[in-house]
Structure 1
Amino acid sequence: MEDMFNRLPNPLISHILSFLPTKEAASTSVLSKRWRLLFASVTNLDFEGDEDSPTFVGFVDRVLALGGNAKLNRFSLNFSDYPDPDTLTSWILNVLRRGVSELELTVSDYPLPPEIFVSKTLSKLKLEGGDGLSVGNDVGKVFLPKLKTLDMDCVGFEEGGAGFAKLLSGCPVLEELVLMNIGWEHWKSCSVSVKTLRRLKFFCEDNDENPKSVSFDAPRLEYLEYSDNIAKKYPKVKFRSLVEAHVSLRLTEDQSADAGSSDDDYYLESDDDEEKEMVGNATNFFKGICNVKILYLSAKTLEVLAFCCEATPVFNNLIQLTVESDEEVGWDSLPGLLKNCPNLETLVFKGFVHKRTKGCGNMCHCKPLKNPCCLSSSTVKVLKIILSVHIDDDGMEEEQIKHFLEKMPRLEQLVVYFDISYDPSVFELSKKLQSISTIASPKCNLQVISQNLSLSSTLPSTLTKKWSAPPKEEYTWFLKAVT
């Protein structure tokens, strides 16, 4: 086997070595002069060190010196107790001179050298700082003509949002942007304006502050993940090409308290048609994503829709909607949302327990209905429900499932997934649903699934069971819904 490996051409062996951890690849250099030369041409270098590795700096120095001026594809450095800034900067300048394509840095308390932001070869830049990794005021010109992926986690900008805007303006072909742990105490406002962007992940710290202003201008964006406190205003939200969006907007503690007070007053004193008092305004944001086809909403986002939206926009293109439920949050916004999704085909619930309020009575069994149920005009064909370990003793989840079956006229498939191994609840729920006398849809296929048991039937019909785990495709929707 060793002889066969030695007979491989040098470029192929170097390519293979590039996929090994750098320490393991470096160990091959002691085999012979040929192997020393082979390791010198490795194009991917990944280093990880800490305070317990006193030889780490010397090791990185030797590896970089051995490579000379050979071109690099990737350089990754993860160092919890980094060397002095001059040493780290010398490493970065070394790989930039060698035309590195992918640069990944995980370090703390380090001002990034301005040379990074004028690289003509970088296609991917990933920056992660536990504390103090920053883009300084000495970064003048920004021009990254080949950068397609920019991933930043806990990165500070000494100029705040202005420095971030300058960075984006120097990335003319950027396609993927990841922003993690933005601290609004330093930024206050943010504008993501990139005409070429196709994927955006935007996660901000939950520090109980509302950002002053957030804008999005990404007409080619296809995929969005957005988690933040609602902004005080959304001057521009432009997503003409959006296909899939995961939204987790939330109220601050003060806004949530105001919403709770407004909620109590509303249900005690007002009529159903009276408008609630808004505690924030995210109307422009939801209008900006109304072209989306696949939408995931957190439970807190349902609260935002109820108390921070002037009117629910019409989602004409939406075909799949996933919502998370929480016992502290009502379904007040769901009737209006479902009404404004005229082409919705698949509805997924992650959890089914919610706060009982008068506002959600239009789509659930919580309160007697005064108006026609919004489910009666629903276009949904597939309903999927993810349940926790056990159904509550009060039977709320069970009664809600029955309510959906009795009201949804176009339902073709109901799938209930228990996120557990075999449990009597699977049999019990199947049996009870079989006994429903009135079902809105003439024939609805029912599946009740756990990790090792699948029960299926057509309502009304006899029950069939499978003791083996359901086919993998039955889990696809579940895995996608919870990620």
Structure 2
Amino acid sequence: MSCVPNEKFVEMTSNNKKKKTELCDLPKCLAPHILSWLPTKTAVTVSLLFMKGWWRSEMKNLSSLKFSFSDDQEEEHFVRFVDQVLRQRGNRKLDSFSLTLNDEIDGGFVTHLVDYPLDNGVEKLKLSIYDIKGNFQLSSRVFSQATLVTLKLATNRSLIWINGDDVAAAHLPCLKTLWLDDVLVADVKVFVRLLSRCPILEELVMIDMKWHNWEACFVVSASLRRLKIVWTDYVEMDEYDRCPQSVLFDTPNVLYLEYTDHIAGQYPLLKFSSLIEAKIRLEMIDEKEEEDEGQEVIVGDNATAFITGITSVRKLYLYANTIQVLHHYFDPPIPEFVYLTHLTIQSDKELGWDAIPELLSKCPHLETLVLEGLFHLATDVCGDVCPCRRNMEQAISYLVKSPVTHLEIYEGVVGKKRGEVTEDAARFGEQVRWFLMRMLHLQQVKIYGQTEDSVTALYDIATELRRLEGKASPNVQISVLQA
């Protein structure tokens, strides 16, 4: 049967509105495809309540299964439902399998359930196990599934862990995407072994990786294109009283890097020769605070090697903490970012802009500068990038020398509801004016407000700035938008 909708489905009324069409009127061949996009429980409900009998028979052809268990469900009913679905579907090729557990459920049942996609050639496997009871051990078969293209493992409280036995026979020849979210990996040898068994891996995401206690942290892969190693708000970096001892990246073909960590003890190798875009958040361990609490403190040496290792980047995002690291933990002058054309800097009211003047001077081809917030801690070493300190007689004119043509300004970190304009519109306007009076090559300034009230206030500020006489770039265009 053709998969073209019948005349009833496409028929238009006189006022150009589509007539209501029941799902059972759709071509039979569309049923498995449509149902596979739904959570499995929803798909079953839809097929039973709204579709003719022949739709129900198509349940066995579902190519995607999505199960989720939470505290508003009864375990017995959930187990029975899952068993019924799997029996009806039988042993047929499976494209995608997703399991999310947000409440306690028997570990033995989960182990048995995970075997089903492995037995049926699954290509995309996502296991999010946040609660469980009894004994559960992730099957080592997960790491020898030759059909897997995407593997995502997420947990908390170390409910999923990977040891040497798990990866001893690892073989993932088709795997392109690997996510490890709060998964406990025994040591660096296990991790390196796992990556070595993924010959065409393109994307690696590691969230809340507790690798601080490893003797070294190695990421080695010639096939990787995207690499993300980050900490979330749920697991604070400050909970750990030591930095990674040694961090090595042998990833010559990575195009995108997102990296959050404490400064490492050393960086023996950083191979990012193909890097195009990076988001970097390096932090320092508060030695005094840890020592006051009687804890042993292991801190990183400096960030020189790491920053030098990413100078080939074209687009760079630096968190406010990283700006502090550049100022306090960078021995020689900041190296040149010869290829950098787009730079985003996050501001924090409690942290200074100390490193920004020198950083801007080392970006000879910078075209776009994005500032997430303008308010920062006033210091004596901001150069002339801000009006915080008025003693500017001997300040080097970094802004005057800047090649930046496009300036984008957000009134605070993107996503936060309260913006800086609401807090102090006059101070915000003064900082923007400072840029306009010094940046010779500016062609366009875009100012983003977080709320409607902020946008209204920004319109008033922009109007005054357009009338400003003596702008370094007289024809600069100023616009206001809502973020």
Does the TM-score normalized on the shorter chain lie above 0.5? yes
1:188 shift after superposition: 5.5
**Percent identity over paired residues:** 37
**Which residue matches 2:322?**
301
Cα distance in 1 between the residues matched to 2:90 and 2:81: 15
CA 376–389 in structure 1, closer or farther in 2 if over 3 Å, else same: closer
SS at 2:375's partner residue?
A: coil
SS at 1:104's partner residue?
A: strand
| Among 180, 186, 197, the residue aligned to 1:152 | 180
2:60 maps to 1:40 = yes
**Which residue matches 2:138?**
112
1:6 shift after superposition: 5.5
- How do 1:126-137 residues align onto structure 2 when only pairs under 5 Å count? 126-131=152-157, 132-137=159-164
**Which residue matches 1:215?**
248
1:155 shift after superposition: 0.5
Q: How many residues align?
A: 431
Cα distance in 2 between the residues matched to 1:315 and 1:362: 21
2:192 maps to 1:161 = no
1:309 shift after superposition: 1.8
2:82 maps to 1:60 = yes
1:395 shift after superposition: 4.0
> Which range is displaced more, 362-371 or 135-144?
362-371
CA 185–285 in structure 1, closer or farther in 2 if over 3 Å, else same: closer
- How do 1:439-458 residues align onto structure 2 when only pairs under 5 Å count? 439-447=471-479, 449-451=480-482
Cα distance in 2 between the residues matched to 1:182 and 1:250: 16
Cα distance in 1 between the residues matched to 2:452 and 2:343: 26
2:449 maps to 1:421 = no
CA 5–356 in structure 1, closer or farther in 2 if over 3 Å, else same: closer
**Which residue matches 1:282?**
303
SS at 2:143's partner residue?
A: helix
Stretches of structure 2 that go unaligned for 5 or more consecutive residues are 1-7, 10-20, 292-298, 412-418
Contact 1:320–1:345 (CA under 8 A) maintained in structure 2? yes
CA 407–389 in structure 1, closer or farther in 2 if over 3 Å, else same: closer
Contact 1:57–1:83 (CA under 8 A) maintained in structure 2? no
CA 16–393 in structure 1, closer or farther in 2 if over 3 Å, else same: closer
**Which residue matches 1:475?**
none
Cα distance in 2 between the residues matched to 1:427 and 1:101: 52
Structure 2 letter corresponding to 1:135? I
Contact 2:440–2:473 (CA under 8 A) maintained in structure 1? yes
Structure 2 letter corresponding to 1:104? K
1:161 shift after superposition: 2.2
Contact 2:217–2:247 (CA under 8 A) maintained in structure 1? yes
Contact 1:112–1:136 (CA under 8 A) maintained in structure 2? no
1:355 shift after superposition: 1.1
1:82 shift after superposition: 4.8
SS at 2:302's partner residue?
A: coil
Contact 1:422–1:450 (CA under 8 A) maintained in structure 2? no
**Which residue matches 1:15?**
33
CA deviation vs aligned residue, 1:315-367 (integer Å, no higher than 9, x gap)? 11111111011111111111111111000001111110111111113422233
Cα distance in 2 between the residues matched to 1:24 and 1:391: 45
Stretches of structure 1 that go unaligned for 5 or more consecutive residues are 259-277, 452-477, 479-483
**Which residue matches 2:14?**
none
Structure 2 letter corresponding to 1:76? S
Cα distance in 2 between the residues matched to 1:347 and 1:437: 23
**Which residue matches 1:271?**
none
SS at 1:407's partner residue?
A: coil
> Which range is displaced more, 407-416 or 362-371?
362-371
Contact 1:242–1:293 (CA under 8 A) maintained in structure 2? yes
**Which residue matches 1:265?**
none
Contact 1:391–1:398 (CA under 8 A) maintained in structure 2? no
Contact 2:64–2:94 (CA under 8 A) maintained in structure 1? yes
TM-score after normalising by structure 1: 0.83
| Among 194, 198, 207, the residue aligned to 1:171 | 198
**Which residue matches 1:141?**
169
Contact 1:389–1:420 (CA under 8 A) maintained in structure 2? no
Cα distance in 2 between the residues matched to 1:396 and 1:33: 68
1:185 shift after superposition: 5.0
SS at 2:383's partner residue?
A: helix
- How do 1:12-411 residues align onto structure 2 when only pairs under 5 Å count? 12-27=30-45, 28=47, 34-51=54-71, 52-54=73-75, 55-107=77-129, 108=131, 110-131=136-157, 132-139=159-166, 140-157=168-185, 159-187=186-214, 189-204=216-231, 205-206=236-237, 207-208=239-240, 209-254=242-287, 280-310=301-331, 311-367=333-389, 368-369=391-392, 370-387=394-411, 388-390=419-421, 393=424, 395-411=426-442
Structure 2 letter corresponding to 1:34? W
CA 95–411 in structure 1, closer or farther in 2 if over 3 Å, else same: same
State the superposition RMSD in angstroms. Answer: 2.6
Cα distance in 2 between the residues matched to 1:111 and 1:167: 17
Cα distance in 1 between the residues matched to 2:471 and 2:56: 74
SS at 2:175's partner residue?
A: coil
2:464 maps to 1:436 = no
